[in-house]
Structure formats: structure tokens, C-alpha cells
Structure 1
Amino acid sequence: MKNFNQLIQAYFGELSEEELDIVQSYFYEEKLQKNDYFTCSGKICNRLSIVKSGIFRIYTLSDGKEVTQWLSKEDQLITEIMGFFYQQPNRWTIQAITDVSLLTISKENYLKLCENFPKWNTIEKQFIVKCFAMLEDRVFSHISMTAEERYDLYYQKNKDLFNLVPLQYIASVLGMSAETLSRIRKRKSKNS
């Protein structure tokens, strides 16, 4: 894992050492075991975390099937945005699929940070813009790339996940069936 200061700056922009110390004082360490829930659909998420180690699956039920929206791993942020920022019931369930270590800020401390550190409101906007950019990239890949191109891009960025999580989760993230993912992987292994 990158250190806390590197992660905060990667997500929220450049801060001085003093500002980083202020931000860090609002976070605490947390651990979850495999299969524990970070938050569940229908609840309101009350925390935002940086994943120090481990993997989460963000999913929902659709027509009786689990649909995995995202796999979050080391050095990534995890929260349910509608719950955490807008106090609306979560659409997504977030579950640890390995033991997980986190740096967490509660909603209460997040609001205190916003109040006690006015610059945080500007920093938060930068973070939300990054979230939208990631979402745009994901939508763009789903509407403009073939299944194989999406696989290649995801594999480049997340090679480690392919040996750590069930492949049906990765297929779901990529918007394809497990069978399609299997065919692509088989074709790729023949061409290697």
C-alpha cells in the first residue's frame, strides 16, 4: 500500500504536510474479515475508506441475479456514494471477499472535517470530478469497445485480481457472461 499521504494526494490533490496531518487525524484503522459487509443495499452508508489491503465486491441483485459493479482493491477508495454523500438508501452491497484492512473516516468525522478544514470543500469537488471521470471511462468502454477490448483494458489494470477472485465477478464487472470471459481467456492463452 502507498502511504496515507500519497493516497490522499492521489485522490484529493496536493496538500501541505500540515494539511495532511489534519486530514489524517480524522481517519481510523479498521479491519473486516472475509464475507463481512462494509454496507448493505437499503441501508445508508456511514463511512468512506481507503483499502490498505484486501478486496471488496460491490454488487446488487437484479432479476434474482447478483450483478457485480466493481471490485475494489488496495489503494482504492470504497463507499456507497448515494448513501454516504446524499443520505439515500444504498443501491449497492459492499462485501469483503478477502480479509480487509482499511483507513476509515466516519460520516460524522467527514462532516467535522468539512467544517473545521474549509479547504476540504474544494478538495471534495476534485474527488467528485475524479469519480465522474472514472464513471465516464467505464460507460465509454461499455458502449464503444468490444468484449475483448474491455477484457484487455481491465486485465492490464487489474491483472492481480484474475487469480484472487471468482471469474464470474470479473465477467460481471466487464458486462459479459462468464462463458464469454472464458472464451476470451482461452483465445488469449492460445495466442500467447
Structure 2
Amino acid sequence: MIQNPDSLLQNYFGSLSHEEVSVILSYFREEKLERNDFFTESGKICNKLSIVKSGILRIFALSDDGREVTQWLAQENFLLTEISGFFFDHPNRWNIQALTETELLTISKDDYKALCHDFPQWSDIEKKLIMKCFSMMEDRIFTHLSLTAEQRYDLYFEQNKSLFNKVPLQFIASVLGMSPETFSRIRKRKI
């Protein structure tokens, strides 16, 4: 059972009563992924949405020239899905793979639709979720357009220090939009 479901859900859903949290949780199930297991793969249609309880997952795709491009590293309390698949039934662009043993709180697409129907307050919660995700995307785009590579490194390091010892650094370099060589040069200056 979830140790403190209220605090986990409050991170995304705002001020909810214990009863409302219980109703929402009744649609979710616990899921575990082993290291290297896929949450979903490109070309398939993602049929679930999860909150990461513990662990680290990598969202990545292959570029036209065969390079792996890491879009995001999801960790505890992050919301996780492949948006094109889950909401629009399009084949996934992104692979989502566990980098560590991972525990998730997962809702299937069918249960998500039932939750929307059965729990009228969900539309307001969903709107807040979408706004939070959109705000995160705006922040990420702004930093990529306005900050130097070194400033992006500094900001990401401040916000995600623990990742630097837990995942291959080339994944972080990719998230930051820089080559492993540029990342390495900046890192050497910081150490």
C-alpha cells in the first residue's frame, strides 16, 4: 500500500480531501518495473499514465541519423506517459525505459476515461495537471533558447544533483541539448 498517498497526489492535484484522494486512488494500481524494462516503446500506443513513486526512467527516441536523444529523466513524483499515444491514440515517438528498479502508481486509459466520467471534479484536476506540464515545457524551452550551455548545466545540476551520480552522464547531456564532449568540458570546469 502507498505509505502517504495524500502527499503524493497533492503534488499534482492540489488541495483534496482524504475522501477525494481515496476515490482517485481506487482507479490506480501499483506497478513495478525492473531495471531496463520498458514502460512503453516507440511505434506502440501507450495505454497508461503513471506517477513515479520511486526510481528513474528515461524518455528517449532515435534521431534520423540513429542517435539516441533523451528528452527527459523522470524521477520520484513525476507524471509519466507518452502523450501522443495516451491522449490521441497515435503511435509513440518516445521510448520510456526504467534506468533503475521503479515503482509506479498507474492508471490505464480505460480507467482514466472512467475516472473522468465518474468523478466530475476530475476535469478541474486534469486542467491543473495540463497547466503544470505546459509550464514545465515552457520553462525548458526558455532555458534552451536563452541560456548558454554552461548556464543550462548549472541550473539542471542545482535542480537534479542526485541524478549526476545515478545515470550515465550522456543522458543528462542529451536532456540539456549538448554533446557529451561539451558536457564533459563544462563538468571538468565545475569539479
Q: In structure 2, the residue corresponding to 1:58 is in which secondary structure?
A: strand
Check whether the contact 1:29–1:102 (CA below 8 A) recurs between aligned residues. yes
**Residues of 2 paired with 1:182 and 1:4: CA distance?**
39
Q: In structure 1, the residue corresponding to 2:105 is in which secondary structure?
A: strand
Residue 98 of structure 1 is matched in structure 2 by 100
**Residues of 2 paired with 1:148 and 1:2: CA distance?**
39
- Superposed CA offset, 1:167-189 (max 9, x none): 00000000001111111111011
**Residues of 2 paired with 1:29 and 1:2: CA distance?**
12
**TM-score for both structures, normalised by structure 2:** 0.96
**Residues of 2 paired with 1:2 and 1:123: CA distance?**
22
Residue 183 of structure 2 is matched in structure 1 by 181
1:11 aligns with 2:12: yes
Structure 1 residue 2 displacement after superposition? 8.1
Check whether the contact 1:60–1:92 (CA below 8 A) recurs between aligned residues. yes
Q: In structure 2, the residue corresponding to 1:70 is in which secondary structure?
A: strand
Residue 140 of structure 1 is matched in structure 2 by 142
Residue 51 of structure 2 is matched in structure 1 by 50
Unaligned runs of 5+ in 2: none
Judged with a 3 Å threshold, the aligned counterparts in structure 2 of structure 1 residues 47 and 25 are, in CA distance, closer, same or farther, namely same
Structure 1 residue 122 displacement after superposition? 1.3
Residue 32 of structure 2 is matched in structure 1 by 31
Aligned residues: 189
Q: In structure 2, the residue corresponding to 1:26 is in which secondary structure?
A: coil
Check whether the contact 1:55–1:71 (CA below 8 A) recurs between aligned residues. yes
Check whether the contact 1:31–1:99 (CA below 8 A) recurs between aligned residues. yes
- Superposed CA offset, 1:12-54 (max 9, x none): 2211111111001111111111111000111111111111111
Check whether the contact 1:2–1:75 (CA below 8 A) recurs between aligned residues. no
Q: In structure 2, the residue corresponding to 1:43 is in which secondary structure?
A: coil
Structure 1 residue 123 displacement after superposition? 0.8
- Determine which of 146, 163, 169 is the counterpart of 1:161: 163
Superposition pairs for residues 104-115 of structure 1, below 5 Å? 104-115=106-117
- Superposed CA offset, 1:45-81 (max 9, x none): 1111111111100000002110000000112111111
Structure 1 residue 3 displacement after superposition? 2.8
**Residues of 2 paired with 1:7 and 1:127: CA distance?**
14
Q: In structure 2, the residue corresponding to 1:103 is in which secondary structure?
A: strand
* Superposition CA RMSD, Å: 1.2
Residue 41 of structure 2 is matched in structure 1 by 40
Letter in 1 for 2:9: I
Unaligned runs of 5+ in 1: none
Residue 72 of structure 1 is matched in structure 2 by 74
- Superposed CA offset, 1:152-181 (max 9, x none): 110011100001100000000000011111
Check whether the contact 1:49–1:77 (CA below 8 A) recurs between aligned residues. yes
Tell me whether 166-175 or 68-77 shows the greater mean CA deviation. 68-77
